[in-house]
Amino acid sequence: MVAEREKIRVSVGVMAHNEEANIGKLLDALLNQHLHEVEISEIIVVASGCTDRTEDIVREYMEKDPRIKLLVQKRREGKTSAINLFLKHAKEDICVIESGDTLPREDAIEKLVRMFRDPNVGMTGAHKVPVNTPDHIAGLLTHLRLRLEHQLCLEIPRLGELIAFRKVFDHIPPDVSMDEAFVEALVVQRGLQVRYAPDAIVYNTGPTSIRDFVKQRRRNHAGHLYLKHKYGYKVSSLQNSRVIKIALKEIWGAIRFIYMLVLLALLEGWARLLGWYDFAIRKERYEVWDMAWSQKADVEEQKSQLEGLPMVITPVVERRGSPGQEGG
């Protein structure tokens, strides 16, 4: 009988500031992860300068599950400070960090962490999927940006929101604001690989106004430039040639889509004109019609072929339930 492989034990750190609306759902999502090769041994919530019910909600969950722990910072000192506090208390060699305003899909931790079976892997990152409805300009821009970021990560990972890494360092310098990028730099410096886990889905909400969109992107870019200037590490999003290449692919896809819409409109108009001619002039009723024989095919076979191809039009977020559930 083959012995069962030892599970990969992880410490999960949740960085939270006034997250009373989401922290309970996030803890539920972490406690109900579908795990096979991975074991969550502890969930440490670092509550920084919270003035709402975040801490109270975490304490309620601590009574339900002993793996949940709460570390309180009386005043908000920044995410880097919160991460350093987490690292000081985390007991496992593999650490997971998740922002308090996100939700992991039920298999996200498993798919994120099982990559560490490979000893060369030092860091992994999840696929961010926005839950904003793209019915206003800020929401649409968020979807488009994260789609471009996903394509970039498939070539060169740039990780954030939900990451996992080997604990090969004990703290992050306090002057660093882009913590995930600095972790990436430390891992690469130690000769380990950084990998993107596109099937590890984490849901988040992007900015809902143009002002906040610009504020977020401005802050991130300044942080990346500082990281490059002081520590010599250049994240993938600063590689302008790659970003432009991916953007051009998206633009070409949009042009093709518009072309197909125009073609569809012309063909539909022509077909309707012919239909009017048949009805009004020829008095054709089509009780027995001429078959469109190209429709006659093995549907199951065609379905299998379709599933192996990229979708022409892909829904940005597919949800069967709440964002923390299967369906992204």
Domain spans, the chain: 8-238
Give the distance from CA 323 to its chain's centroid: 11
Band of the pLDDT at 236, cuts 50, 70, 90? low
Residue 305 has pLDDT above 80, yes or no: no
Higher pLDDT, 277 or 137: 277
Band of the pLDDT at 64, cuts 50, 70, 90? very high
Q: What is the pLDDT of residues 48-63, one digit of tens each?
A: 999 999 999 999 999 9
Higher pLDDT, 235 or 95: 95
Q: What is the pLDDT of residues 67-105, one digit of tens each?
A: 999 999 999 988 889 999 999 999 999 999 999 989 999
- What is the mean pLDDT of the segment spanning 271-298? 70
State how beta strands 8-16 and 94-99 pair: parallel
Q: What is the pLDDT of residues 21-37, one digit of tens each?
A: 999 999 999 999 999 99
- What is the mean pLDDT of the segment spanning 146-167? 79
- C-alpha to C-alpha distances, 258 to 81, 141, 147, 291, 310, nearest whole angstrom: 48, 18, 19, 30, 18
Helices (H), 4-120: 23-31, 54-64, 79-89, 108-113
CA neighbor of 41 nearest in space, from 72, 62, 66: 66
Please give the mean pLDDT across all residues of the chain: 80
- What is the mean pLDDT of the segment spanning 285-297? 57
Residue 239 has pLDDT above 70, yes or no: no
Residue 134 has pLDDT above 70, yes or no: no
Q: What pLDDT score does 319 carry?
A: 40
Burial pattern 238-272, b for ≥16 Cβ within 10 A else e, equals beeeebeebeeeeeeeeeeeeeeeeeeeeeeeeee
Band of the pLDDT at 249, cuts 50, 70, 90? confident
CA neighbor of 109 nearest in space, from 27, 22, 16: 27
* Length of the chain (residues): 328
Topology given in CATH for the domain delimited by 8-238? Spore Coat Polysaccharide Biosynthesis Protein SpsA; Chain A (3.90.550)
Higher pLDDT, 206 or 167: 167
CA neighbor of 48 nearest in space, from 24, 81, 2: 81
Out of 83-92, 115-124, 245-254, pick the least confident: 245-254
**Amino acid letter for position 191:** G
Q: What is the pLDDT of residues 202-223, one digit of tens each?
A: 998 877 777 877 777 777 677 6
Q: What pLDDT score does 51 carry?
A: 94
Taking the C-alpha atoms of 312, 318, 320 and 324 in order, what is their torsion angle to the nearest 10 degrees?
150
> Six-digit token pair at 101?
């305003």
Say what angle helices 210-231 and 179-189 make with each other, to 10 degrees: 30
- What is the mean pLDDT of the segment spanning 245-266? 76
Band of the pLDDT at 120, cuts 50, 70, 90? very high
Higher pLDDT, 60 or 141: 60
CA neighbor of 233 nearest in space, from 289, 300, 174, 158: 158
Q: What pLDDT score does 323 carry?
A: 44
CB atoms within 10 A of CB 91: 11
Band of the pLDDT at 289, cuts 50, 70, 90? low
- C-alpha to C-alpha distances, 327 to 109, 282, 314, 315, nearest whole angstrom: 15, 50, 14, 11
Q: What pLDDT score does 298 carry?
A: 65
